[in-house]
Amino acid sequence: MSARAEIVDDQRGMAFRGVFLRELHGYLITPVAWLFSVIFLLFAGAFTFYLGAFFERGQADLDPFFQFHPWLYLVLVPALAMRLWAEERRSGTLELLMTLPIRSWQAVLAKFLAAWMYIGCALALTFPMWLTVNYLGQPDNGVILASYIGSFLMAGAFLAISECLSVLTRSQVIAFIVALAVCFLFLLAGDPLVQQPLLALGSNRVADALSDLSLLAHFQAIARGVLDLGDVAYFLLTILFWLAANVLILDARRGG
């Protein structure tokens, strides 16, 4: 009896940790995850030097590096996240997972944090960029740090959106395409591309509200070196909103 009691006490947070570690382990053994980091690092570098004209600008900063992050994430994060729930649904492991002693929100959060941590590692591996710019000149390292934080937060927002949409389907391809489309919409919510059709429909309010939701605008604000509380809160709330939606959808499916 005491052995069993011990097990129950031990279990606080154990299920969460178990799922988190399994997810993280999954990234180390699946080719998709390695592909993600390799392509991210290659493209981040290539874009910076070629499209961003890193050398030609003659400025010691990482603007040309960070300005391409939203576009890299737009494709790569939905690709990394598409399997999160769709794969569990297709293979039937969802039933295994959701009958383990774990709450839905713990499972959602564990998957999210493991993936976010993995993206964080890929982002951290761009440190040679920071070394290079410090070698070449005297950049404002505060701005660079803020940009890194902004980039990481933006990746988190994309990830939360993609994870949530992954729970709607068994097909990873559908999960990827829908996530890409929704992320694109949120990225450019403040852009004429999205704004003008809304304004043409005469819905100024919707257009205004949507422009406040623009991921790109908030990222650019942080990347300028101003780590404004509002911008940080925007990203955190976006993440929270989509994770909460994820939990709700997951639970609603049990009722169906």
Single-letter amino acid, residue 65: F
254 to 91, 98, 112, 160, 251: CA distances (angstroms): 17, 10, 21, 21, 5
Shortest spacing between CB 117 and another protein, in angstroms: 17
Nearer residue to another protein within complex by CB, 60 or 102: 102
Q: Does 57 bind another protein (CB under 8 A)?
A: no
Shortest spacing between CB 108 and another protein, in angstroms: 15
Shortest spacing between CB 177 and another protein, in angstroms: 23
- Distance (Å, rounded) from C-alpha 58 to C-alpha 189? 32
Contact predicate 115/84, CB 8 Å: yes
Answer for which of 1, 3, 131, 229 binds another protein (CB under 8 A) is 3
Answer for which of 92, 192, 202, 230 binds another protein (CB under 8 A) is 92
Q: Give the interface size with another protein as a residue count (CB under 8 A).
A: 29
Which residues in the 97-116 window bind another protein by CB under 8 A? 98-103
Q: What is the Cα gyration radius of the chain?
A: 20
- Distance (Å, rounded) from C-alpha 195 to C-alpha 193? 6
Residues 6+ apart with CB under 8 A from 67: 52, 223
Single-letter amino acid, residue 5: A
145-183 per-residue burial string, b: 16 or more CB within 10 A, e: under 16: ebbbbbbbbbbbbbbbbbbbbbbbbeebeebbebbbebb
Nearer residue to another protein within complex by CB, 93 or 203: 93
3-state class (DSSP) for residue 91: helix
| Among 69-77, 91-99, 112-120, 133-141, the segment contacting another protein (CB under 8 A) | 91-99
- Distance (Å, rounded) from C-alpha 214 to C-alpha 234? 10
Contact predicate 105/247, CB 8 Å: yes
Nearer residue to another protein within complex by CB, 69 or 89: 89
Which positions from 4 to 43 touch another protein by CB under 8 A, shown as an x/- string?
Answer: ---xx-xx--xx-xxx-xx--xx--xx-------------
Residue position matching structure tokens 């569990």: 88
Which residues in the 113-172 window bind another protein by CB under 8 A? none
Shortest spacing between CB 4 and another protein, in angstroms: 8
Positions that interact with another protein (CB under 8 A)? 3, 7-8, 10-11, 14-15, 17-19, 21-22, 25-26, 29-30, 91-93, 95-96, 98-103, 254-255
